[in-house]
Amino acid sequence: MNVIQQLEKEQQKAKVPALRAGDTVKVHAKVVEGTRERIQVFEGIVIRVTGGGLRQNFTVRRVTHGVGVERTFLVHSPRIDRIDVLRHGDVRQGRLYYLRGKVGKGARIRERRGALAAVAEEAEGEVREATEGTEQGQEK
């Protein structure tokens, strides 16, 4: 393994949920305001996932007070506290830019069911177990 790959591996987060376009997520991001640091929650639909490894990022879209807001996050950024996957959407595209032109019920995405959802829930369970273990270790 060369030096660059080793450095990237050290900076990657241990457990990251598998994200796909169409998933509804809640991202807990750290925001610095003056000397204070707080957690800001951004909830919405993942409209794209790009890159891989340390450079992997995803864009989340939500509509607030009739205005569409999109925010891009780096998956392995130290500014991200955690990512919670609330629902797995059933979509056929990898990029959901068409949601920008839809409003209300037209922008809904049906939930993924069956084998894919079961595999995704199992993966989430593993991520939760890993994070619970680290939280218990920090309390001691």
Domain boundaries, the chain: 3-139
Question: Residue 116 and residue 30: Cα distance in Å, rounded?
Answer: 31
pTM: 0.76
Out of 2.30.30.790, 2.60.120.650, 2.40.30.30, 3.40.50.300, the CATH code matching 3-139 is 2.30.30.790
Radius of gyration over alpha carbons of the chain, in Å?
A: 16
Each residue's pLDDT expressed in tens, for the chain with a length of 140 residues: 699 888 888 888 888 899 999 999 999 999 999 999 999 999 999 999 999 888 999 999 999 998 999 999 999 999 999 999 999 999 999 999 999 998 888 888 998 886 555 666 666 666 555 555 555 555 54
- The three-state secondary structure class of 10 is helix
